[in-house]
Structure 1
Amino acid sequence: MEDDNCPPRSALYAFPPIGVGTADVESLTSYFCRLAVAHCVSSTDLLHRISKTCGWSAPPKNFWKDVNLGGMGDVAERYACALSAMTSVERLDLLTLRPWRNVIAKSSKAPATTRWCAACFEEDLVQGGMPYFRLAWDVGDIDVCAKHGTRLPDACSDCGRTGARNNAACVVPGWCCYCGAPLGRVQEAHASASAAETWKAAQVGQLLAAQASIISAPDRGAMMERVRKLIDQLDDGMSARFARRIGSNKSTVHYWFKQGVPTLAAHLRIASQTGVSLLALLTGCVDGEIPCLRETPSLAELFPDYKKRASPRRSDSSHVEEQMDELHQSDDAVSVSDASRRLNVHRRRLYRLDNAKAHIIGAKWLEQQRHRSEQHRLEAARAIEAAVADILSSGKAPNLREVQQLVSREVLGGVRGLFAMIQEASAKIEESKSATLP
């Protein structure tokens, strides 16, 4: 007689994931490493076992450097499904960012190195649990731990080597892969996080805590409708003004509405400058109230590399018009681009101030250039004719090489149709010779 409470048979231990439904949710990388430790095999052996079962090609040696199992890519989905099938544990995709694949661009920033929070590892040991990797540590736009307010290190405090978290054949979460030292040693030298960095981490933490309760993946249409309402409420429906508000290009915002998806960094920009939480923005929760902009960090605090656009240069229109008159009446012709540089204004503004004068300045420049080109061509034709005459008098056949030896580059440079000009000069000389013959 079978026991109804007996779990189904599975190829791997049916480990329950840690922290599902909280901001400290475990990452799929951590779940994979814990499975390998529980089965007393290396991570490489477990990778080969999964690949063989699923009929995949063998993973490369640098698997952990090239693959982010907690991301939104297809690799994260493949391994989440494979581990769910082999452990009989459902919804292991909750240990990745896959639930947000429709509303967060896959091109979002990925972490350059593997990071961790030493205080979190220490808490795991104090509470008698097994240390594990948090999914929040694998979010590229987050550099701090929201719970402890410290930056996430990427180097072992004992041996100083980076990639010490899980870049090895045998990985025990919480200990260095190189020297075996515990990574949970809190260093006093660890810099504390700023309020803006903590705000970003807290917003992402709310997102990770909520994804366990989401039945279906958030819809892009609902998310963009929420953005549209924010533009209507805050910037009178003007997307260009909204783009300036969030420190982005207006073409980027237009692309989002057409077919694109904002990155996580772009969503954080929108949330910080509109007063809407990141979770409400991505899930498309719409309310009729105007968002509150208090107690939200600035773009410069959130993104230190952010540079505010410089204010447009302003100049006296009457002074610019007077200078245009001087250029128009001057004997020296200048191009419109050169005139804009001299007057320190954009060339389009010259056309706006006085379209007729700007066109006259440009036409005067073109006429001067055409005249110079014609004079240059006439000078080159005379030099080529003299060179051809010398070549014929020496009994040689005129060609480009012979002509280039007799005429300087300054004369021939920029002249088109040299072969035709040499042939014309030869024909002209032959005709003059034949005309002088009795």
Structure 2
Amino acid sequence: MNELTCPPRSLLYPLEPIGVGTADVESLASFFCRVAASHCVSSTDLLHRISKMCGWAAPPKNFWKDTNLSGMGDVAERYACALSEMTSVEHLDLLTLRLWRNVIAHRSKAPAKGRWCAACFEEDLANGRMPYFRLAWDVGDIDACAKHGARLPDACSDCGRTGARNNAACVVPGWCCYCGAPLGRVQAAHASAPAAETWKAAQVGQLLAAQASISSVPDRCNVTEGLRKLVDELDGGKSARFAQRIGANKSTVHWWLQQGGVPTLAAHLRIASQTGVSLVALLTGVIDDSIPILRAGPSLAELFPDYKKRASPHRRDSTDIDAKMDELRQSDVAVSVSEAARRMKVRRRQLYRVENEKSRVIAAKWTAHQRHCSEQHRLEAVRAIEAAVEDILSRGKAPNLREVQQLVPREVLGGVRGVFAMIQEASAKIEASRSATWP
């Protein structure tokens, strides 16, 4: 007689996660919403019930807006463990990005709004399957669906409101939270994504498909060693040259290699696109001894529209610089070294390095000019203050700063120190001259 095996008892229905081990793996937020819908309760009620049973603080009102339940943070780990214990479904952390927490910087871009692929929802319904949210849609650096080559919208095609995916107490994946219209209607407005965006989505899809077969958390040291291998074999061990290759600052690459820094997901995609190594190989540190020949991939400008290639360094003409320095040194018009460097299109420190003695002469000449201008400005201010004080005293008033400011133009007093002392000196001088003239 065959014995019937019963599933283990659990507080919540043990729903089966969808797409584990594929690029279309379900997100933990989607699993949470499906569990709530299967119990005919709102997502908010289930959230409060889990928090109460686990002894956590009550979640804030804007929990779903400010929290990425499928990300790499501690919140994703806590709720994955809690749902796994309450549903008896193991390895719910595979519905999050938690596995990559040691090799992808947590400051990586997070999605600002809930997004989806209408073609994926339409495909779910056509196959008789309940629509669900893909984990790839909750990766901030991805804006396209690799499977259908379409951009990920964030607004309902019927009512036009954003946040239509899961911005409600009761969420049914695949339908608008505001008007109830199906989100699987493919519209012409959902334009095709550029090839570079599709390439990024495909790389992330391979990463999500591979995480189900990885037995341990990827190690940061292996990733660093893989980067060193790329620098050695592609750019002869020159990290500055490698930084130029991937469009990053050389200090950033030095931070990765020497100080244990962790690249963001966008930085990993930069490296993968310009080295020919897949994103999975980069993050697992499994890079063969021989680097593959670089294949024709998307350029940095295509992958990241805000990328600006650095201008080539300006080549100095020492003869021309020497002639211009002599001209400035002999000129009657004084200029600063910074202004001289700007005219010659070089940096100030480079000018000191090339023509140190002449630069010092120009700097001393500019300092003397500034000092002379300051003295002349002060003498002008003294004369104007004396005239103002004399006028104030002639009207029988006591000279003060407010009275003086009404008589002296602002550009004369501006930048002059010790105005109070100058007013007192002018008052004492005028009083003394008047006492000397009286019988």
Cα root mean square deviation, aligned:
2.4
Q: Match for residue 371 of structure 2?
A: 370
Q: Match for residue 236 of structure 1?
A: 236
Q: Match for residue 115 of structure 2?
A: 115
Contact 1:167 1:177 (8 Å CA) reproduced: yes
Question: Which amino acid is 2:226 matched to?
Answer: R
Shift of 1:87: 0.9
Matched, 1:275 2:259: no
The 1:386–1:41 alpha-carbon spacing in structure 2 relative to 1, beyond 3 Å, is: closer
Q: Secondary structure at the match of 2:24?
A: coil
In 2, distance between residues paired with 1:281 and 1:152? Answer: 26
Shift of 1:415: 1.2
Deviations along 1:165-222, whole A, 9 cap, x unmatched? 2222222222222333332333456433333222211111111111112222212222
Question: Which amino acid is 2:24 matched to?
Answer: D
How do 1:3-402 and structure 2 match up within 5 A? 5-187=5-187, 190-257=190-257, 258-314=259-315, 316-392=317-393, 395-402=396-403
> After alignment, is 10-19 or 112-121 more displaced?
112-121
The 1:11–1:312 alpha-carbon spacing in structure 2 relative to 1, beyond 3 Å, is: same
In 2, distance between residues paired with 1:279 and 1:136? Answer: 15
Shift of 1:332: 0.8
Shift of 1:57: 3.2
Shift of 1:122: 2.8
In 1, distance between residues paired with 2:377 and 2:191? Answer: 69
> After alignment, is 272-281 or 244-253 more displaced?
244-253
TM-score (norm 2): 0.91
Shift of 1:137: 1.2
Unaligned runs of 5+ in 2: none
The 1:394–1:105 alpha-carbon spacing in structure 2 relative to 1, beyond 3 Å, is: same
In 1, distance between residues paired with 2:320 and 2:385? Answer: 49
Shift of 1:390: 4.8
In 2, distance between residues paired with 1:57 and 1:412? Answer: 61
Deviations along 1:252-282, whole A, 9 cap, x unmatched? 2233342432111110001111111111111
Question: Which amino acid is 1:237 matched to?
Answer: G
Question: Which amino acid is 2:186 matched to?
Answer: V
Contact 1:114 1:165 (8 Å CA) reproduced: yes
Percent of aligned pairs with the same amino acid: 79
Deviations along 1:233-262, whole A, 9 cap, x unmatched? 222222222111111112222333424321
Shift of 1:45: 1.8
In 1, distance between residues paired with 2:125 and 2:346? Answer: 65
Contact 1:276 1:292 (8 Å CA) reproduced: no
The 1:396–1:25 alpha-carbon spacing in structure 2 relative to 1, beyond 3 Å, is: same
The 1:388–1:237 alpha-carbon spacing in structure 2 relative to 1, beyond 3 Å, is: same
Shift of 1:388: 3.9
Shift of 1:335: 1.0
Shift of 1:336: 1.4
> After alignment, is 300-309 or 180-189 more displaced?
180-189
Q: Secondary structure at the match of 1:358?
A: helix
Q: Secondary structure at the match of 1:186?
A: coil
Contact 1:113 1:154 (8 Å CA) reproduced: yes
> After alignment, is 134-143 or 282-291 more displaced?
282-291
The 1:306–1:387 alpha-carbon spacing in structure 2 relative to 1, beyond 3 Å, is: closer
The 1:93–1:428 alpha-carbon spacing in structure 2 relative to 1, beyond 3 Å, is: same
Deviations along 1:5-30, whole A, 9 cap, x unmatched? 43332110111211111111110011
| Number of aligned residue pairs | 436
Deviations along 1:42-87, whole A, 9 cap, x unmatched? 2122122112212233333433222221111222122111111211
In 2, distance between residues paired with 1:428 and 1:291? Answer: 87
In 1, distance between residues paired with 2:164 and 2:388? Answer: 76
Q: Secondary structure at the match of 1:340?
A: helix
Question: Which amino acid is 1:172 matched to?
Answer: V
In 2, distance between residues paired with 1:156 and 1:285? Answer: 42
Shift of 1:323: 1.8
Q: Secondary structure at the match of 2:130?
A: coil
> After alignment, is 409-418 or 425-434 more displaced?
425-434
